[in-house]
Amino acid sequence: MKYGKLIMAPSEYELIMNLFNRVQPKDVVHKACYDKLRLELTEANIVEESQIPTDVVRLYSYIDVQTPFGRLEDYQLVMPSQDLRDPKKLSILTPMGTALIGYAQGDTVLWNFPVGERQILINRVAQALPKNLRELEKK
Q: What pLDDT sits at residue 137?
A: 47
Distance separating alpha carbons of residues 74 and 134, to the nearest angstrom: 25
Q: What pLDDT sits at residue 85?
A: 80
- Domain of residue 40 covers 7-131
> Is 139 part of a structural domain of the chain?
no
> Is 138 part of a structural domain of the chain?
no
Domains identified in the chain, total number: 1
> Is 81 part of a structural domain of the chain?
yes
Rg (CA), the chain: 14
Distance separating alpha carbons of residues 16 and 37, to the nearest angstrom: 10
Q: What pLDDT sits at residue 118?
A: 83
> Is 136 part of a structural domain of the chain?
no
> Tell me, what CATH number does 54's domain have?
3.10.50.30
> Is 98 part of a structural domain of the chain?
yes
> Is 76 part of a structural domain of the chain?
yes
> Is 1 part of a structural domain of the chain?
no
Q: What pLDDT sits at residue 24?
A: 87
pLDDT < 70 stretches in the chain? 83, 113-114, 129-139
Q: What pLDDT sits at residue 132?
A: 52
Q: What pLDDT sits at residue 72?
A: 83
Q: What is the pTM of this model?
A: 0.86
> Is 15 part of a structural domain of the chain?
yes
Closest to 68 (Cα-Cα) out of 123, 126, 117, 124: 117
Q: What pLDDT sits at residue 44?
A: 96
The dihedral of CA 25, 10, 53, 38: what is its sign? negative
